[in-house]
Structures are given as C-alpha cells and as structure tokens.
Structure 1
C-alpha cells in the first residue's frame, strides 16, 4: 500500500507542479487594466474596430517588409494559438501607401496559417502618431512609425498588461522580437483575459436561467 502511495505521489506531484507553473501565477486573478478608454482604431481607419473584440494591437509603420520577422513570431506563437476564438483579432497599424507591402506579408503569413483574423488599419503618419500617443504607454514609435511591441486591448477598449512584472514593473506591451517573452508572458496573459470573458459569459447565462 505504501509503495502505491509513494508511486502515486512521484507521478502526480511533478504533473501538478508543471501545470501550476505552465499556467502562470497570474491566471488566478484578473489581468490588470493599465490604461482605460484607449481610442478605437476606427478613428484612423473606419474599416477596423477594437470594440467588442479581444485585440492584439501592433504598429508596423511604413516599412512593413522590415518587420516580417516580428509578424512571423507573433503569428506562430500567439495567433496560431488563439486565432480560433471568435472574439479574438490581431490588428496591425500601417501607414497609407503600404498596401503592396501588406499584401506581401499576408501572402507569406498565409503559407503558415489561416489569416482571416489578421486586420490592417491604414492611416497617415500624423494620425498614427497621435493615436499612439493617446494610448499613454511608456513605449515610443521609431522614425518609421513602428515598434516591436504589441498590446492587449480588451472588448471595452482598456489596455491590459502587468503592473508587477518581475523585469519591467509595469508592462504595457510585449516584445515580438523575443520568442521567449511571447511564450512565457504574453501567452499566459491572453489566457487570463480569455478566461475572464468565459467566466463572465457563464455567469450571465446562469443569471438569465434563474
């Protein structure tokens, strides 16, 4: 009997420990709101909106070709994992005149996955910079109106992130040039926000059935 108990502990304990760390400690709470009422991207491009979607928002600027590596990392580590959710989307902001570069990127991404939830919002350089300033993060766009960082925006246009990150303290965005950061941090945080909405939906359905 003792032998069976010992074997059970040796088998179960590592699994429990793995699941705990794999899910991330943050999964036991809500993902913090860092900025409320982020402007809707429809202010720049009427064909795209963040409202009522869980959005990964990025800025590729005017040299989209130079950012293909970042887009591929994001596609492989984030989009492939969460793109199946109906209320999830990935929005990239680019400058007017970047249509050909965007089509090239979409063609390359399409070789790796279905890209029906990749959206591209076009705007002038001035409009993009003004919009980004309105997000009120500690990150800046470079001279091409781009950044390797992407942001999580919830359905109510709140920017979500971490307020106690072990490296950055307050973490507004996630670096797409770092596969480790996407794997170890961003995946966990998107899991949290998706779980929030699933729980809220279950609660609403339960309340209606009373």
Structure 2
C-alpha cells in the first residue's frame, strides 16, 4: 500500500493537476461580463475608441493632485506590467480645464515607465457623467467628477469584472487607493482577459489553417 501511495503522489496527482490547469482557461478563465455595450469613448472623443482594445478606464476628476498617488499605484502595479501588449490601453477621463496638471503628471509617470499609453481625454462634465452612468455599476462619481476605481472594458465594449468576489460579491471596478487590490485582484483579472483573447486568436488561426 505504501508503494501504491508513493506512485499516486509522484505520478497520478501531477497528471491530474496538469489536466485540470490545462483546461482551466476554457472552464474557469473567462472574466465575467457585467455590462454589455457600454458607450464608446469615441462618442465624446474622436481620437480614441474602446473597440478592438483592452482598456483600463478611469475617471480622474478635476483635482489631479489629489489622485496623483492613486495613478502612481496604477502605473506601478498594472500599467508597467501590461503596457507592452499591442491591444492594451489606458484611458483616463478628466474635465476640461485640468490639461496643465495632466501634462505635469504624465512627465512624472514617464520617469517610471514609457507613458505613451497613458491617454487622457478632456470632456465636459455632462459627458463624464453619461459615460460613467453607462457602465451601470453600483458606484458613483464624487463632487470632483472622479472615482478611485478603474474599470476593464473589453474589445466588444463590455465591462468586465467579478460576479463572485469574496469581499464585494459583484466587483465592477478596482480601487486604485489599495495597492493590495491592484496586486491581488486586478492584475489577475487583466491576465485572464489577455489570455482569453490570445487563446481565441490561436483558435481562429488554427481553424483557418485546416
């Protein structure tokens, strides 16, 4: 019996684990869709679109200095890890009038990583409210037209998040105030959605070659 147990531990269990994780992306690796067909950023800024991009969307508000620490957290924990992916982009929405503060911010961010995919869109207050409300979350903008959470928008304009989060049940966004949340939750979710699209691309390429 001891020999059988040793054989199971050495050979059978690793095989079972391999099969489990090999199928994990198909069975467990899709990030839930929480809101379908959110408003495209192109409706308020013709220079950008959510289509065919994996977008991290944020709402900076009109007090850029107050949220600077949040954006540095996001830069260090998310942006630096993923900005080299071709279909990855950051879009931060801010009210018209804070352009100077954002230029200074981008210069500071650029000292830590190439900041070319940090995109800031300056629009009217009502456009910010409409875009945020279109996400259909349980969150709200503050008096400065900002929110510390950032959101994952997929290539088909759907808001992705968690529908079984251990802390919030339904998790629409990721709080940039919390380094732990960015590190332990958001990083994993961005990895999942990137892997999801890579697998879909591989499958499409394989189907075409048949």
Between the aligned partners of 1:204 and 1:59, the Cα distance in structure 2 is: 35
What is the CA deviation profile of residues 130-185 of structure 1, one whole-angstrom value per residue up to 9, with x for unaligned ones? 11111111110100000100000000000000000000000000000000000000
1:153 pairs with 2:153: yes
Structure 2 SS opposite 1:90: strand
In structure 2, the residue matched to 1:32 is 32
In structure 2, the residue matched to 1:164 is 164
Between the aligned partners of 1:27 and 1:78, the Cα distance in structure 2 is: 25
Structure 1 SS opposite 2:196: helix
In structure 1, the residue matched to 2:181 is 181
Between the aligned partners of 1:39 and 1:86, the Cα distance in structure 2 is: 22
In structure 1, the residue matched to 2:116 is 116
Between the aligned partners of 1:73 and 1:37, the Cα distance in structure 2 is: 28
Q: 1:51: Cα distance to partner?
A: 1.1
Q: 1:64: Cα distance to partner?
A: 1.2
Between the aligned partners of 1:157 and 1:46, the Cα distance in structure 2 is: 16
Q: 1:125: Cα distance to partner?
A: 0.8
Return 85-94 or 121-130, whichever deviates more: 121-130
Between the aligned partners of 1:147 and 1:44, the Cα distance in structure 2 is: 19
Between the aligned partners of 1:72 and 1:135, the Cα distance in structure 2 is: 24
In structure 1, the residue matched to 2:103 is 103
Query: 1:49-198 counterparts in 2 under 5 A?
Result: 49-198=49-198
Q: 1:127: Cα distance to partner?
A: 1.1
What is the CA deviation profile of residues 23-70 of structure 1, one whole-angstrom value per residue up to 9, with x for unaligned ones? x99993210000000101122222121111000000001111211101
Structure 1 SS opposite 2:114: coil
Residue pair 2:25, 2:196 contacting (<8 A) in 1 also: no
Return 40-49 or 100-109, whichever deviates more: 40-49
Listed as ranges, the gaps of 5+ residues in structure 1 are none
Given the two structures, how large is their TM-score scaled by the length of structure 2? 0.87
Between the aligned partners of 2:129 and 2:91, the Cα distance in structure 1 is: 16
Listed as ranges, the gaps of 5+ residues in structure 2 are none
- CA separation of 1:59 and 1:27: change in aligned 2, threshold 3 A: farther
Q: What RMSD in Å do the two structures reach over aligned CA positions?
A: 2.3
Structure 2 SS opposite 1:164: strand
Given the two structures, how large is their TM-score scaled by the length of structure 1? 0.87
